[in-house]
Amino acid sequence: MNFDMAGFAVRRWQFTLVAFALLAALGLNAFFSTPRSEDPHFPLPIVIVQAVLPGAEPSEMEQLVVDPIEQALDGLDSVSQIRSTSQDGVGVVDVEFSYDVDPERKYDEVVREVNALRGTLPDGLARLEVRRARTTEVAIVQVALVSDTLPMRRLEKAADRLRERLARVPGVRQARYWGAPSSEVRVSLDLPRLAALQLPASAVADALRARGAEAPVGAVQAGDRRFNVKSGGAFKTLEAVADTPVRSQGGQVVRVRDVAKVEWAEDEPTHLTRFNGKRAVFVTVTQKDGQDVGKITAGIRRALDEQEKTLPAGVKLERAFFQAENVDHRLNNLFRDFAIALGLVLITLLPLGFRAGVVVMMSIPLSLLIGLALLQAFGFTLNQLSIAGFVLALGLLVDDSIVVVENIARRMREGEDRVSAAINGTRQISLAVIGCTAALMLAFLPLMALPGGAGSYVRSLPVTVLVTVAASLLVALTIIPFLASRILSRHEDPEGNALLRAVNNGIQRFYAPVLHVGLARPVLTTAVILGLCLTAIPMARAIGTSLFPPAETPQFLVRIEMPDGTALARTDQALRYVEGALARETEVAWRAGNLGRGNPQIFYNQQQRESSASYAEVYVGLKAWRPGESEKVVARLREAFARYPGARITLVLFENGPPVEAPIEVRFTGENLDVLKAGAARIEQILKATPGARDVSNPLGVDRTDIDLGLDEAKAAALGVPVGAARRVVRLALTGEEAARFRDADGDDYAVKVRLPMDRVGAGDRNDLEILGAVYVPTASGAATPLSALAAPRPVISPARIDRFDRERTVTVSAFLEPGALASAVGGEVETRLKDLAIPPGYRLSFGGQAEAQSESFSGLGAAITVAIFGILAVLVLEFGRFKSALVVAGIIPLGLFGAVSALALTGNSLSFTAVIGIIALMGIEIKNSILLVDFTEQLRREGVPLREAIERAGEVRFLPVLLTSITAIGGLIPLALERSGLYSPLAIAIIGGLVSSTVLSRIATPVLYWLAARGEEKAAA
């Protein structure tokens, strides 16, 4: 017994209304409760291991730390690639797994392997941490506490109090502050006095360590009471530090105050921050997964208002970046586009008449609300891609309802009552409607399985379209027949309203004669249309390919890279130049300067740069991103930055999609660093000479100069210096040694650090070379000997860093693109020029950047296109029962491809990742129109109508529903196309162009192809 869905919905209308009221309520609840975000949140299967080994040079870091970690992690399953960087005292290993794994499980596996390895790593390892890369790890808020006068220790306290308050806001994962050099109690050694007393610097540190030890002494009992015995512990006052005895000599006690100066100070800075050129401390907030950024930000704003009232005098709270403002701006634009698209779609329904238009219009809110409920159930957020998916679906979800209502109205004009017409008309057309919708969904379904980061990024768009279109099918086959049975009137003019009559007259006057001519010369007509479609191939090559466009957010980064070994003060000069250039731009709203480290992460595919004295970064906020105008601001700034000598200053616009360090990357892989350096230099020159490339970076371009202490172990032994004592004293003198802890009245802990006096620092943040001559080393007899007696410091040349890719030494020479240049074109030119480069045996070149990401992403699109084509063919074969009819319907696909490529070329867009997604979606949309024509033709033939007449009648009768469904789809997409968004405008433009060409050309091509395929059958039957 077959279930009659339309009959059940019409006859049991009370149940139908209750069911759809429930679905609509769930949709409304989803609209208000689904988290909103700027970009999709998706799991990243990337784990980062960072190790810090103070004093280790890059080659030692590579051999002792990085290589063992890589070896351990490479044995894990599903490892896609491993990258590592070994620098002075720091090693970072990035391991990326394939995107089909569970990132949480892989993170646990990495933690397990690193913990198992920890015991075999060097003892001096200061830090070894494992962290996951997350799309939600970005700062959703960045504010600054600004003060030029308040001592840094008090400013840091204020930042810490603000951090604690923000961390308590519901939905906040973590709050941190940045740019405050650690405050410390500094014990600045008096070297001449120590030398006179023949005391080594380590003696002061040992005395403070013994005095400040917090180990428990024990416990005693008195009667029934038990008392813990305390002695020493954290220092409470500076006087207590200064009074600590160091040695008793000749009956006199030498105290710390006699050989050192005790005072509050700041640790040698590694990260300093400024806001709009003024000294500041940044405070950032990250959100938990699955939270609404708008709701969290509202709580953060309230907390900021409360905390601002408690700030010390002279401190100003500056509100810089709120991601929620970007989200609101982007989503409000899309909601505006949605409203415009809705109006355009409603206008296209006017030929159906007022009552029929009202019935069809009801499918829009119901389908969208059901789609929203399903989207929330699948765990997706409301972001720019899911909203774009709703706008895209808006022009598609009325198609089924238009076909159903048009068929019901036709049966009513033939004399059936409203209930019978609603049930029978829906039943008659249901198979074709299901086939059309299945073909459309099969075009989008493979997009859900696209591999890699690009697939994860865009997944919410096809899911949104699929759930909304599936909801529209349910609506069209259930509640729409019920509404038609109650609202449509059979007393209306059989010829329709004036607009419908005008359209039908146009069909008779213009379309019918052209179709007649085409059927008279089928071979010539097919050849002309095929030739037209083939022009899409050279056009596609001419416009080129690309991956993802700039995000067009009103923020960007300016990166300042000085030669390795540059002092922090020299890097600061370049940073101030950049800040000055930014201050002169009226469009710049604020600027957050970072000296010695990158800005906290604020975009999901841009990681924060680690500490380096030769690096600085400015995070810049514009008043707004204005297409056409903001690009001019960027161009002016790049021109100004290019004039600064001795630094590589790069302005980086945020881009959508998977993480890509630079658009153009050339990897040179081999073992010998000298060969790699020479090859990288030649690659660098080639990139600089390639049109379209700019800001070329070669990490091995400049060697690093270091100082080898030159210890003579034989002399040290002869002088009675214990093994390792000289290194310890030099490290204490230059870097400092934490000897104890200081605890203030608020309960905050600070380090008590012994080191050389900072007033002996020559460059402001570095120790002078000659300071080594003032260092004394202890001997076994208790005396002290000058370091110069057993060491001869000398300069040595070493690589600034050692990069590895998949466990092989690799130097990556990278470049950014000039405005308007395509990575595919520039990369192709670079590849051509590199063919003349002589590669030594055992070395090889490979390409990263957008070329690698594009290859991975577009390879997935190839599989998606294949699945979509064969899935649609399977539906067509099931519906028509033979290959000829299925191939005739599928023959419309090249027509849409021609229009899509032509539209992209005319609007100056490349064949981007989202444009190709639009072309895949186009296949399902245009197939729907062709199905309606072929299905009606075969109905007429089964009724005994001759072949030629059946083709012509079907073409004329089905022209109107095909025209209406195409125009509604185009109307829904026009606002997206006019949005000038690099992300989804190419998608909309490709579909609009394809629909225009396929709607026009297929009205001739499909009947002609059917005539060529079927006339042989008619002759055989005769």
Q: What are phi and psi of 738, to 5 degrees?
A: -75, 115
- If we measure between CA atoms, which residue out of 996, 885, 1007 comes closest to residue 514? 1007
Residues 715-739, mean pLDDT to the nearest whole number: 79
Residues 478 and 422 in one domain: yes
Beta bridge partner(s), residue 82: 95
Q: How many whole angstroms separate alpha carbon 304 and alpha carbon 143?
A: 9
Predicted local distance difference test score (pLDDT) of residue 1: 41
Cβ atoms < 10 Å from Cβ of 157: 18
Q: Is the pLDDT of residue 97 over 50?
A: yes
Q: Is the pLDDT of residue 860 over 90?
A: no
Residue 891 belongs to some domain of the structure: yes
Q: For the ranges 497-506, 713-722, 734-743, 989-998, which has the lowest average pLDDT? A: 497-506
Residues 750-756, mean pLDDT to the nearest whole number: 86
Predicted local distance difference test score (pLDDT) of residue 486: 86
Strand-pair category, 749-755 with 183-189: parallel
Residues 497-520, mean pLDDT to the nearest whole number: 76
CATH number where 753 lies = 3.30.2090.10
Q: What are phi and psi of 763, to 5 degrees?
A: -95, 10
Name the residue with tokens 């970064």. Answer: 617
CATH number where 113 lies = 3.30.70.1430
Q: How many whole angstroms separate alpha carbon 389 and alpha carbon 408?
A: 30
Q: 448-491 pLDDT, tens per residue?
A: 877 777 778 888 888 999 999 999 999 999 999 999 888 887 66
pLDDT band for 2, please (50, 70, 90 cuts).
Answer: low
Residue 286 belongs to some domain of the structure: no
Predicted local distance difference test score (pLDDT) of residue 401: 85
CB-based contact 822:849 (threshold 8 Å): no
Classified as helix, coil or strand, 26 is helix
Name the residue with tokens 């930014």. Answer: 582
Q: Is the pLDDT of residue 974 over 80?
A: yes
CB-based contact 311:145 (threshold 8 Å): yes
Q: How many whole angstroms separate alpha carbon 195 and alpha carbon 212?
A: 25
Query: Which tokens is 14 given?
Result: 């009370």
Q: How many whole angstroms separate alpha carbon 971 and alpha carbon 994?
A: 14
Classified as helix, coil or strand, 890 is helix
User: In this structure, which amino acid lies at residue 376?
Assistant: Q
> Is pLDDT larger for residue 58 or for residue 167?
167
Predicted local distance difference test score (pLDDT) of residue 100: 82
Residues 698 and 589 in one domain: yes
Predicted local distance difference test score (pLDDT) of residue 761: 40
Q: How many whole angstroms separate alpha carbon 554 and alpha carbon 567?
A: 32
Burial of residue 862 (number of CB atoms within 10 Å: 0-12, 13-18, 19+): exposed
Q: 121-173 pLDDT, tens per residue?
A: 888 788 899 988 887 788 999 999 999 889 888 899 999 999 999 999 999 99
Contacts of 836 (CB under 8 A, 6+ apart): none
Predicted local distance difference test score (pLDDT) of residue 765: 42
Residue 848 belongs to some domain of the structure: no
Residues 81 and 118 in one domain: yes
Full residue range of the structural domain in which residue 108 is found? 43-134
Residues 105 and 29 in one domain: no
User: In this structure, which amino acid lies at residue 566?
Assistant: T
Q: How many whole angstroms separate alpha carbon 916 and alpha carbon 923?
A: 11
Predicted local distance difference test score (pLDDT) of residue 588: 95
pLDDT band for 231, please (50, 70, 90 cuts).
Answer: low
> Is pLDDT larger for residue 374 or for residue 52?
374
Residue 325 belongs to some domain of the structure: no
Predicted local distance difference test score (pLDDT) of residue 762: 34
CATH number where 21 lies = 1.20.1640.10
Cβ atoms < 10 Å from Cβ of 761: 14
Residue 315 belongs to some domain of the structure: no
Highest average pLDDT, of 189-198, 246-255, 309-318, comes from 309-318
Structural domain ending residue among the three candidates 101, 134, 167: 134
Residue 176 belongs to some domain of the structure: no
Q: 281-334 pLDDT, tens per residue?
A: 999 999 988 888 999 999 999 999 999 999 999 899 999 999 999 888 877 877
Q: 899-955 pLDDT, tens per residue?
A: 999 999 998 888 887 888 888 878 878 887 788 788 878 888 888 888 888 888 888
Residue 870 belongs to some domain of the structure: no
Answer positive or negative: Cα dihedral of 595, 600, 606, 610: positive
Predicted local distance difference test score (pLDDT) of residue 507: 73
> Is pLDDT larger for residue 508 or for residue 67?
67
Residues 526 and 590 in one domain: no
Residues 430 and 483 in one domain: yes
Q: How many whole angstroms separate alpha carbon 984 and alpha carbon 342?
A: 18
- If we measure between CA atoms, which residue out of 437, 401, 359 comes closest to residue 961? 401
Q: Is the pLDDT of residue 980 over 60?
A: yes
Residues 598-621, mean pLDDT to the nearest whole number: 89
- Report how far apart, in Å, the C-alpha atoms of 879 and of each of 874, 875, 928 are: 9, 6, 12
Residues 195-200, mean pLDDT to the nearest whole number: 77
Residues 787 and 825 in one domain: no
Residues 718 and 828 in one domain: no
User: In this structure, which amino acid lies at residue 571?
Assistant: T
Residues 424 and 383 in one domain: yes
Q: How many whole angstroms separate alpha carbon 223 and alpha carbon 580?
A: 73
Residues 362 and 456 in one domain: yes
Contacts of 285 (CB under 8 A, 6+ apart): 139, 140, 141, 166, 169, 172, 174, 175, 296, 300
Residue 859 belongs to some domain of the structure: no
Q: How many whole angstroms separate alpha carbon 600 and alpha carbon 597?
A: 9
DSSP H or E stretch at residue 204: helix 201-211
Structural domain ending residue among the three candidates 785, 819, 843: 843
Q: 623-674 pLDDT, tens per residue?
A: 998 888 888 999 999 999 999 998 989 999 988 777 778 889 999 999 998 8
What's the number of domains the chain is made of?
5
Residues 998 and 893 in one domain: yes
Structural domain ending residue among the three candidates 738, 767, 798: 798
Q: For the ranges 103-117, 266-280, 293-307, 406-420, which has the lowest average pLDDT? A: 406-420
Nearest 5°: the CA angle 937, 940, 944 is 135
Q: Is the pLDDT of residue 808 over 70?
A: yes
Q: DSSP labels for 903-950? A: HHHHTT--B-HHHHHHHHHHHHHHHHHHHHHHHHHHHHHHTT--HHHH
Classified as helix, coil or strand, 561 is strand
Residues 801-808, mean pLDDT to the nearest whole number: 90
Residues 1000-1020, mean pLDDT to the nearest whole number: 79
Put simply, whether the predicted model's pTM sits higher than 0.85 gets the answer no
Residues 560 and 674 in one domain: yes
Q: What is the mean pLDDT of the chain?
A: 85
pLDDT band for 585, please (50, 70, 90 cuts).
Answer: very high
